[in-house]
Every structure is written in C-alpha cells, then in structure tokens.
Structure 1
Amino acid sequence: MPNRETIWIIGASDGIGAALARAWADKGARLILSARSEGALQDLAESLGPDHVALPLDVADRSSLVAAAETIASIGPLDRVVHLAAMYDPGKVAEVDPDTAAKIVTVNLTGTFHISQIAPPLLREGGQLALCGSVAGYIGLPQGQIYSATKAGVMNLVQSLRAELSGSRDVRLISPGFVDTRLTQRNNFTMPAMVTPEVAARAIIDGLNSRRFEVHFPRRFTYALKLLSVLPYWAALPLTRRLTQ
C-alpha cells in the first residue's frame, strides 16, 4: 500500500488508544500496539488483522521500553508515535495515598520522559511524536490531586521537547477533556462535555494531521479552561473554589 504509515500507539489496550487503533487501521496504517494489559492488547491486534503487532510494555519500567524500542528498530522507521498511557486516582490532595501518588508520578511524568528520550530515534526524519497531557494540567482544580500536577509537568516537558527537536521531529501535545473511559468512570462528580473514545480518536487524528501544536477537545469545554488558566490569580482562584461547593 503506497504511503502506508507505521504508527506506534502506547496505551492502546482500551479507551482512547484502542479507538485510535481502530480508526487508523481503517485508514490502512500499520500499527504497533503497546500497553501493560497483554491479553487485551493481543485481542485488539488480532481483531484488526495480521499486519498489526502487539508489543506489551510498562512505561514505568525503562528497561521494558528499551527492549520494545530494539524490537521496533528492526521493523523500520516509524511515521508516528502516540503516547497515551496514564494512571489516575481521583480525590482531594489530603486523601491521596502517598504510594499511589508516587506511582502516578512515575507512570505519567517519568514515563513520558522515558518516551521522550527513547521514541525520537525510532522516527523517520520529520516523523511525529504526540504526547498526552490533559486539560486537567491547565490549572489546579478540586479533586485534580497529583494527576493534574503530573499532566501540567507533561505539558511543560512537551513544550521543551518541541523546541529542542524543531526541524527534525514533529512534536505535538494532546490535551483531552473528559472522555468516557475506565479512568473517568471512577469520578463521582458531573463531567461536562463528555465525549466517547471514538469522538476523541477522530479529534486526535484530525488534529495531528493539522499544523496545530496542541490538539485539545471538546473545544466548548477546553476554551473555557484555557480562559480560566490565563486569568490573574485574584480572579481565577475564587472561580475554582466555587467548584468545591
């Protein structure tokens, strides 16, 4: 197939990652699918057809990423890497278990750092590296706890990487709002502008095919949070405090 893309999706076993895999497979891409859930990952790869590879790994374990990279290097240069894997545990800061908080930092922030070092050499010149932040990283919100803090860190890291790799790799930031996945199903509050993983996948593909650095959606929600994040603290903090009432 001419111009067929080879894409590595990390965090592909369910949710947005699985929806992205199905959408890109329908477009003829060749996929390398990674996640910790080996069984679900293998089932997804088999459902998409014989050309797709299931490659289990743990982003918190750098050695497993290095081993995966060695396997991918033998396949050939990649057109895109999309990193979506994350850990989430909702609740107020005072309620978060410290060990769980440490794991969230390791998976979300340190894991993204590992990908930022390991993935670029696997990409062809001008290939795309898309890393997943969150609108939760725009501003500290109630019950955002350590997850939001890690996503703020990821967004900062991606901005740095965009500058450092300019001209050689196409670095992008993905900032989803609320998507109906197993992670958000743990929330006990009303989630505005919720979208399905399929809608999220279409938004991501359209955004990554555009020239925009940040792919954020749904915009009726993300623009409101962007506005909140640029307000001075004297205006923003009273508004965020109201969200706890």
Structure 2
Amino acid sequence: MPDKTNPKELIWIIGASEGIGAALARYWAKQGARLILSARSDARLNMLVSELGSEHLALPLDILDPNQIKVAADKLAHFGPLDRVIHLAAQYDPGKIADIDLKTAAQIVSVNLTGCLHIAQLTPPMLRKDGQLALCGSVAGYMGLPQGQIYSATKAGVINLAESLRVELQGKVDVRLISPGFVDTRLTQRNAFSMPALMQPDDAAKAIYRGLNGGQFEIHFPRRLTLALKLLRALPYWASLRLTRRLVQ
C-alpha cells in the first residue's frame, strides 16, 4: 500500500475532468498529493489544473488507444514511480436491452471494459513496489438489473478483472476495486427513475479516499445500498429474480 504518511504522493487519476474524478482530484490535492489528471477533454482538465495549482499536470488521454497510454507513460517516467493509479473513466447509457443502439453499446464496451484492460496491462510497471492500482466498477455490476444495460454488463467485467488482477499481482501491486452506488453526476442525471441513496461527488470522493487508505480490497458505498445489493446477489435466482422483477412493475 502507498505510504499514507507521505504528503507528496504522486497519483495518476484517469477520468478526472468532471464528476467523481474531479471531486477526488480536489480532495487529494488538499491532502498535499501531486496529481497527474487525465481525460479526453483538454479544456476541462486545464481548468481543473488551473484551479488546483501549477504543481499538478493535465495529461489528455484516450484510454482506447494503447499507444497514447505508452506515450503518457514515457512522459511521466521522469517524475519517478507512481504511488497510485486510479482509473475512473466510463460511459453510461441506460435503457432496456431491446432498445440498445448497437453502436453505442460497442462504444460503452470499448471505454468501460477494453479501456480498463489497457490501463490494467500498461500501468503496473509505472507503479513503485506495492503501489496501488484502483479500478472503478459499480454496484450496477453486482447482478443484472433492469435499465442497466450495457453499462451493468461492462462493470461486471471490470469487477471480474479486478478480482483476477488482485491475485495475479499479489506482492507487486496493491489492486483495489471501487464500487460506487448512485452519485449525482452528468451520467446519472440521465436516469429516469428515482435513485436510492443518491450521493454527491464530494461525499463519494471522501469515501474513496478513506477506502484506498484502508485495507479492504473493495471500496463500496453507500453501505445502506451496497449491502442490500450484495444480499440480493447472494440469494438463489428464484428469489433474487422475483425481487428484481418488481423494479419494472
């Protein structure tokens, strides 16, 4: 685990231009960390770095391009080994399976799952020994829920990927899984239903910060939602599917 007593941790946050990523960048900057902030949006990243201070770096990045990640790694090499890589980038498009636009679905799979795989493959050598790689799943990946496709399916894949990495990189990299519930962002504002236990990005950032500085593999929040969903997942299908069916009635 990264050294929590070091006020100048070097942290790369991918998906930092808005929402949870931007809130986490602001929170970690207040703790004295040096940040490399990545997303596809140059303008938002530059605005955030201007807000946080010149010691932080904006590094625009398309996670679907492994060559861009390699170029970014070369640019960051002179900074020294990273203490943490926190990967939050994702796309979301709620809807029923019958209504999914296949081109949109393919893009979501590419960003949420393939992009995550690129980060998982290319960033571990950039970390110091026992440095931290955190991947962002979602409680939507715990089980198939109505209106969650194709996002839910990709997040189930991220959860599986993080579990595998935790074992494969044991003793080398501290792999963590972040599983947020509903957080009030531009993405979730597309939901047409009432979101239980809705959190603000600042509160989500604090939960992630505490969790990554703790010892648990999975950081999931808010507990009143996540524990209920974990219980639902643990039930036999005859019970869990009967309960989830009520969500569309």
TM-score range, shorter chain: over 0.9
Q: Which residue pairs with 1:240 in the alignment?
A: 244
In the alignment of these two chains, the number of paired residues is 245
Q: Which residue pairs with 1:98 in the alignment?
A: 102
Q: Which residue pairs with 1:126 in the alignment?
A: 130
Q: Which residue pairs with 1:49 in the alignment?
A: 53
* CA–CA distance in structure 2, aligned partners of residues 8 and 130 of structure 1: 10
* CA–CA distance in structure 1, aligned partners of residues 68 and 62 of structure 2: 6
Q: Which residue pairs with 2:195 in the alignment?
A: 191
* CA–CA distance in structure 1, aligned partners of residues 65 and 197 of structure 2: 34
* CA–CA distance in structure 1, aligned partners of residues 124 and 132 of structure 2: 8
* CA–CA distance in structure 1, aligned partners of residues 70 and 109 of structure 2: 20
* CA–CA distance in structure 2, aligned partners of residues 74 and 62 of structure 1: 20
Work out which of the residue numbers 25, 28, 33 in structure 1 matches 2:29: 25
Which segments of 5 or more consecutive residues in structure 2 lack a partner in the other structure? none
Q: Which residue pairs with 1:226 in the alignment?
A: 230
Q: 1:227 to 1:29 in 2, by over 3 A?
A: same
- Residue 74 of structure 1 deviates from its aligned partner by 2.2
2:165 aligned with 1:161: yes
Q: 1:187 to 1:132 in 2, by over 3 A?
A: same
TM-score (norm 2): 0.97
Which segments of 5 or more consecutive residues in structure 1 lack a partner in the other structure? none
* Secondary structure class of the residue paired with 2:93: coil
Runs of 4 or more off by more than 2 Å in structure 1? none
* Secondary structure class of the residue paired with 2:92: coil
Work out which of the residue numbers 34, 38, 41 in structure 1 matches 2:38: 34
* Secondary structure class of the residue paired with 1:39: helix
* Secondary structure class of the residue paired with 2:60: coil
* CA–CA distance in structure 1, aligned partners of residues 230 and 70 of structure 2: 36
TM-score (norm 1): 0.98
* Secondary structure class of the residue paired with 1:128: strand
> What is the Cα-based RMSD across aligned positions, in Å?
1.0
2:139 aligned with 1:135: yes
- Map residues 206-221 of structure 1 onto 2, 5 A cutoff: 206-221=210-225
Instruction: For residues 33-84 of structure 1, give each alpha carbon's deviation from its aligned partner in whole angstroms, at most 9, with x where no partner exists.
Output: 0000110001101110110000000111222111111111222100000000
Q: Which residue pairs with 2:83 in the alignment?
A: 79
Name the % identity. Answer: 68
Q: Which residue pairs with 1:63 in the alignment?
A: 67
Tell me which amino acid in the other structure corresponds to 2:217: F
* CA–CA distance in structure 2, aligned partners of residues 66 and 146 of structure 1: 28
